[in-house]
Amino acid sequence: MHRTPAEGFCAADIAAQVGATLIGAPDRCVDRVASITSAGARDLAYFSGPRRGVNPKVCSAGIIVCRTQDTGLMPPQATLILVPNPQIAFIDIVAWMWPRQDAYLGIDRSAIIHPTAQLAENVAVGPLVVIGADCHIAAGAVIGSGSVLGQNVCIGVDTELVARVTVLDDCVIGARCLIAPGVVIGSDGFGLASDHGRWRRVPQLGRVIIGDDVDIGANTTIDRGTLDDTRIADGVKLDNLIQIAHNVEIGAHSAIAGCAGLAGSSIVGKHCTLGGGVGLAGHLTLADGVHITGMSMVTRSIHQPGVYSAGTPIDTNTRWHKNAARFKQLDRIAHRVQALELRFNAAKNPDEEDV
């Protein structure tokens, strides 16, 4: 990050901001942040523990945020800010250095706002925004350029819709949420019924209810419920390009990486993580504290916390094709092994009767 303030930030002030112990020059100043591998003398970096390929001894950062147990790994010239969790401290430091600035001031003249919509005095509305009837926009909210709000939408305090966000009728978004460009909230779920060989749409009459402090990445879609609501609890973090189907429930403080897909009526517990490309079949439940590694397909409910994986690791193309062919033979091989075991046991104990 290369946003330079009028004056640099000195180590003593940074340490005081996060309640940290300072080792080194308290008047050393930085005006940028950078990674531990690329930082220079005017940069602040953080080091959260040994990692392959990273040697902090050769780092040129002016200030490094690190743990007490890692001070011996640090370069001698650096000023150190000692904290229990360097990554969290780094987040707080950056937020203090460069506080959020509203994208807009006031209401742009090109915005179309229904007369029955209720906006708090300090709501910011960007160009080409459309806000429908009976919407409620709370104080400090930012509705970014090109966003569209249907009827009776509620947006909580200090929530930001960055740009081109669509929130359809009756949906509710809590406080301090960050909704990235291209997100669609409240589109119809994939509800179909077969009527003598022809598909008919099932009415999608539920809503999407999103709690407080939720982040939703670019081009993620969250479908409304069929009859009941789709629910995203407080503190959930969703990456880009995720599909959340109708009537899904995601528990508090769970996080889902990009390109995951959650089928209808699946339930994810609290403090779960789903890696990139994970797929959840419909109508299943993940308990609290379940962690699914990337590209896994989940086809059954998981009732115990822990780490779960599925899928075949990458291999050379030739070996992968051979193993894939053998995989199709596993059932036949299992029956043959079972038969051989029975014959072996019978030969070993000829006088015993089969049970």
The number of angstroms, rounded, from the C-alpha of 257 to the middle of its chain's C-alpha atoms is 5
Q: Are residues 239 and 302 in the same domain?
A: yes
Taking only the tens place, the pLDDT of each residue in 216-268 is: 999 999 999 999 999 999 999 999 999 999 999 999 999 999 999 999 999 99
Domain assignment present for residue 103? The answer is: no
Q: Are residues 184 and 262 in the same domain?
A: yes
The catalytic position among 2, 196, 246, 321 is 246
Q: What is the DSSP string of 112-172?
A: EE-TT-EE-TT-EE-TT-EE-TT-EE-TT-EE-TT-EE-TT-EE-TT-EE-SS-EE-TT-E
Q: Are residues 151 and 38 in the same domain?
A: no
Q: Are residues 58 and 132 in the same domain?
A: no
Q: What is the average per-residue pLDDT within 97-102?
A: 78
Domain closes at, from 65, 97, 129: 97
- pLDDT of the residue at 311: 86
- Assess whether pLDDT exceeds 50 at residue 337: yes
CB 90 within 8 A of CB 46: yes
Instruction: Show the domain range for 41.
Output: 9-97
Q: What is the DSSP string of 11-48?
A: HHHHHHHHT-EEES-TT-EESEE--TTT--TTEEEE--
Please tell me what DSSP assigns to residue 328: T
Domain assignment present for residue 102? The answer is: no
Give the global pTM. Answer: 0.88
For residue 246, indicate whether it is catalytic: yes
Which residue in this structure is represented by tokens 């669509």? 166
Q: How far is 228 from 325, CA to CA, in rounded Å?
A: 44
- pLDDT of the residue at 355: 46
Q: Are residues 303 and 329 in the same domain?
A: no
Taking only the tens place, the pLDDT of each residue in 122-165 is: 999 999 999 999 999 999 999 999 999 999 999 999 999 999 99
Q: How far is 317 from 332, CA to CA, in rounded Å?
A: 24
pLDDT band at residue 7 under the 50/70/90 scheme: low
Q: Are residues 159 and 285 in the same domain?
A: yes
Domain assignment present for residue 104? The answer is: no
How many other C-beta atoms are found inside a 10 Å radius of the C-beta of residue 118? 12
Q: Are residues 138 and 199 in the same domain?
A: yes
Domain assignment present for residue 209? The answer is: yes
Identify the weakest region by mean pLDDT among 47-56, 147-156, 297-306.
47-56
Q: Are residues 302 and 333 in the same domain?
A: no
Q: Are residues 24 and 166 in the same domain?
A: no
Q: Are residues 325 and 189 in the same domain?
A: no
CB 121 within 8 A of CB 107: no
Identify the weakest region by mean pLDDT among 47-51, 103-107, 327-331.
103-107
Q: How many domains does the chain have?
A: 3
Q: Are residues 167 and 269 in the same domain?
A: yes
Q: Are residues 266 and 145 in the same domain?
A: yes
pLDDT band at residue 2 under the 50/70/90 scheme: very low
